[in-house]
Structures are given as C-alpha cells and as structure tokens.
Structure 1
Amino acid sequence: MSATVRRPGVGDPLDVPALHAFFDTLAVLLRAGVTVVAEAAYRDRLWRPGRGPLTKTADLRIIRCTTSTPTIIQRMTERADSDRHRSAHDDRQLLTEIAVGAYRPEEFVDISLDAPALLVDTSDGYRPGSAEIEAFVRAS
C-alpha cells in the first residue's frame, strides 16, 4: 500500500478524503451517543454536503469565532513560523493571497444551518466568556 503525499494548497489529493473522514467520524460518534465538539473552519460549501446526516442525530450548536483581519494575519504568521503541523493548511499561500487582495478573511462564508449560533470575539480572550459559551453549548 502506498501513501499519498500531502501537498498543501488547492487540489491536494488528501483534502477530499480528509473531509469525508471528518464527517464519517462525527457520524459514528453521534450514533454512539457521544457528545462531540467538532472544530473546523470549513466554508458553507464544504459543510453543506456532510452536515445532512448530522442534523438528524445531533442537537447542533454553532460557535463562530471572529477577530479582526490584522489579528488573523498576525496569528497565521506566528503559527506558520512556529507550528510545523500548520503546513497542511498552507498558511503561507493564504497569507500571500491576503497580501495581494485575492482573499479577504472578512468575506468568509459561514455555515448556513438552522441551529443556534453564538458569535465569539477572540481578539483578546473570549467575548462572551467561558461561562456564557458553556451555557450556550449546554442549553436545550
């Protein structure tokens, strides 16, 4: 069996299998009755195909983290410089696209889902804070 080599960026051969594995794993855990926190920065077009089965078995909550574009750029730069695991996200290419105006973080398309949602500002800590986030997640 040969391994597929990871190539960061658009068109990576592991992107689609990883997306399927993400949703398949969530489905297995939810069917088993496990409470799951699924963290991903997928745009709506990537969430839409995989979320259908999840909405049938889960009591979903959406937490959307946000901050300013300069803070996003600073954090991406720091992670690209210090975290070798970030190479899968091709932060350097994304930073280049931001610099030339080909990508604007403020135009990120959130997932559209009929589920409770909470916007959390992560500019300096969390606003609302941990207690409010926990209460939102636990609400029925």
Structure 2
Amino acid sequence: MTSYGRTSGGAVPPGADPYGADRRPVLVAVSGPPGAGETTLAHALAGALGWPAVCRDEIKERMAADAPARGPVGAPEPGGTLDPRTLDAFFRSIGGHLAAGRNLVAEAAFQDRLWRPGLQPLADLADIRVVRCVVDPELARRRIARRAADLPSRAVHADAELLRRIAVGERPIESWEPIALDLPCLVVDTTDGWRPALARIAAFAVEGG
C-alpha cells in the first residue's frame, strides 16, 4: 500500500470527472478508527468534489429509525441483525452507485476484515483509493464521549461499549487495523483540522496519487 503525505495540489472543480464517460468511476474509501472524524471528512470531500457520499453509521441510524418495532432507539435487536444488515446495505449502495457510473465517497470505521471482502469485488467496477484518517487516541476518546452525550441518534451504535473498552485499557483505537489492500492510500491526520488540507485530499481522490 502506498501512502502519500504531500500537502501540495490544486483545488478540484466541483463535480470534476477525472476520466470522462469512457472510463471507470472512482470510489474513495474513507476509513479510520472510531473518533477519527471520517464522517466529517467524507462529507466535506464529497461536497468539494460534487460526488455523493455513503456513510455506514448514517445507514444504520436510518434503519433503526425505520424499525419502530425494535423498541427504543439503541435497544438490542433480536438476533443482532442490524449490524449485518447495515453492512450489506452499505456495500450494496456503493455497488449501485458504481454500476451506474457515478464517482463516490464511502465512509466507515470498519477494520480491514470488513472492508476487504466488500471492496475486493468492487475493483471490477471502479478505481479505488483509500483515505485513512489517523488521530490522537485520547482526542478520539473525547470525541466519542461527546457525540454519545450530544447526539441521540448515536444510541444505536456501540459507543458506550467502546468507551468501556478504552476505560479498562483494551486500546481499541490504537489496535484498529487499516485497509491492507494494495491500493493508493493517503493518510490524513485529523487531530487538528486536516493534514494534508482538503484541496490535497480532493486532488488525491481525482488523481489517485
């Protein structure tokens, strides 16, 4: 996997198509450990490029909201089926966009074991780039705690369990495993803003290097 750390690169025009109608679409997979700000970056990147964004947690929240029979938001789902259904819906949505020829930003805090089997078949449909967010673990913990307290929609996620694991020293942020496929990869530090800046990330998305 190649990592690019350059901070140069010009802005990309909104909606830019780097290839034209006769080339494959581009999929940018925005990944990183919980609390690394992947969702915020994915939406900013999609907005800068004029591309749609597919975010795993947002899919799960919509599924939970559409299933009132489950009881209160965040209540355990019978059979624990929400996570597998979310995973399936996430990659089906990505595949649908790519099959229609649309460039796409997709985001999830999945580790390699979940990203890999979903991304590998998509290599036949698109040119894939990876944006990997990295962050100070203590800042990630504070972000997770803040969003769990401030956003009722987060109740459907495992934020409380993640915070418990951090509290007992299991270090889930540090042990998160990045996508290990041989794909162009840009590492973005989200500890204080974005390094490199959004214009450079957008250029990477379009150019792949």
1:116 aligned partner: 184
The residue number in structure 2 matching 1:102 is 170
Task: Tell me the secondary structure at the aligned position of residue 37 of structure 1.
Answer: strand
Question: Does residue 68 of structure 1 match 2:145?
Answer: no
Q: Deviations over 1:28-51 (max 9, x none)?
A: 110100111001111111112211
* Larger CA deviation: 41-50 vs 68-77: 41-50
Deviation string for 1:68-123 (max 9, x for gaps)?
11100110011001011112222111001111023431110011111100110011
Residues 1-12 of structure 1 mapped to structure 2, 5 A cutoff: 3=67, 5=70, 7=75, 12=80
Q: Deviations over 1:1-33 (max 9, x none)?
A: xx4635469x73211111011101111110100
Work out which of the residue numbers 77, 102, 119 in structure 2 matches 1:51. 119
Task: Quote the sequence identity (%).
Answer: 44
Q: If each structure's helix is expressed as a fraction of its own residues, which one has the higher value?
A: 1
Q: Which runs of 5+ in 2 are unaligned?
A: 1-66
Structure 1 residue runs of 4+, over 2 Å off? 3-9
Return the alpha-carbon distance in structure 2 between the equivalents of residues 117 and 75 of structure 1. 24
Q: Is the 8 A contact 1:27 1:53 kept in 2?
A: no
What residue ranges of structure 1 are gaps of 5+ in the alignment?
none
> Distance in 2 between the 1:55 and 1:104 partners?
29
CA RMSD in angstroms comes to 1.8
Q: Tell me the TM-score normalized by structure 2.
A: 0.61
70, 83, 93: which one aligns with 2:161: 93
Q: More strand by proportion, 1 or 2?
A: 2
The answer for the alignment partner of 2:46 in structure 1 is: none
SS of alignment partner, residue 110 of structure 2: coil
Aligned length: 137
Asked if residue 130 in structure 1 is aligned to residue 166 in structure 2, the reply is: no
Give the secondary-structure state (helix, strand or coil) at the position aligned to 1:49.
helix
Q: Which has the higher contact order (CA 8 A, sep 6+)?
A: 2
**SS of structure 1 residue aligned to 2:179:** coil
| Most deviating of 127-136 and 83-92 | 83-92
Q: Could you tell me which residue of structure 2 aligns to residue 30 of structure 1?
A: 98
